A and B are shown apart, each in its own frame.
Chain A
């Protein structure tokens, strides 16, 4: 046991408290007046397999009926015709002059160093936690 654990245990022992006779009799009296609840009833058995099967079939039949109805009706008049977009609304193409940013070597090195430091710190914390608990 390490120093901190010993100190925490010792300091907890310094907290003086005991259950007084008054509290003891109060608790006993309260317990006498209480009845433990009965264990909860077991849950009802789930519906039978045939019920599940019947409801699935009904659902599938309903879905097929809806799909058939929608397809038999055909497209609404006027639908499917795309009006030409007036030339005035066409957005002109913009020529972008973009260049790829190139990191200089020292910056790349710096990032690698930082990542290595982070990894080391993470490993140290993990090791500390595993060692203690």
Chain B
């Protein structure tokens, strides 16, 4: 499929990326200021991937390469809109909140966006949602393996503390 897409078959490329589109959109949604921005970023990501498919190195996983492009596009959008993750003061505009099912407790990814830096957030997402290896994550983020390990550890500790805090609050409520 990759070879067919490289030769200019848009249909082959559409089939190739079909399985990644929703995951990418979900990921971009957590990094964008609005749903429309996330959709634009997805479109740009797929177009760039198709255009520069010749530069894809088959030693890497295809998803790793695709996420690298997605991160670049999301970063570019963020620069244009000058919206900082975690600085979305008006919660009504936060696209992530619109897309999260109503729940008694805060979605951990909302908390993660509030508590973690962009890079640590991305590392956590790639690790726990996309099941990427530490090596692949360090490739996507263009960081060393040890940096990735240490920051995944920090992200885990922060979110673990948040999860325990929520559990303690729920217990306190239950006991009145």
Which residues of A are in contact with B by a Cβ distance under 8 Å?
3-5, 7-9, 11-12, 14-19, 23, 26-28, 30-32, 34-40, 125, 128-129, 132-133
Q: How far is the CA of A27 from the CA of B18 in the complex (A)?
A: 11
Complex Cα gap A28–B53 (Å)? 16
Q: Is the CB of B54 within 8 A of A8?
A: no
Q: Which residues of A contact B39 (CB under 8 A)?
A: 23
Q: Which one of A5, A8, A30 has the greatest number of beta carbons of chain B within 10 Å?
A: A8
Tell me what chain A mostly uses at the interface: helix, strand, loop, or mixed. helix
30 A–B contacts, CB within 8 A, in A order: A4-B160, A7-B108, A7-B163, A12-B26, A12-B125, A14-B103, A15-B29, A15-B99, A16-B101, A17-B25, A17-B26, A17-B35, A18-B22, A19-B21, A27-B42, A27-B46, A28-B10, A31-B46, A34-B47, A35-B8, A36-B6, A36-B50, A36-B51, A36-B52, A36-B53, A37-B51, A37-B52, A37-B54, A38-B54, A128-B153
A19 touches B163 (CB 8 A): no
What is the size, in residues, of chain B's interface with A at 8 Å between Cβ atoms? 46
Contact between chains at A36 and B54 (CB < 8 Å) = yes
Residues of chain B having any CB pair with chain A under 8 Å: 5-8, 10, 13-14, 21-22, 25-26, 29-30, 35, 38-39, 42-43, 46-47, 50-54, 96, 99-101, 103, 107-109, 124-125, 128-129, 134, 149-150, 152-153, 156, 159-160, 163
Query: Which of A4, A11, A23, A35 contacts B109 (CB under 8 A)?
Result: A11
In the bound complex, what is the Cα–Cα distance between A17 and B36 (angstroms)? 12
Nearest-Cβ distance from residue A37 to partner chain B, whole angstroms: 6
How far is A35 from B47 in the complex, measured between Cα atoms in Å? 10
How far apart are B54's CB and chain A's nearest CB, in angstroms? 4
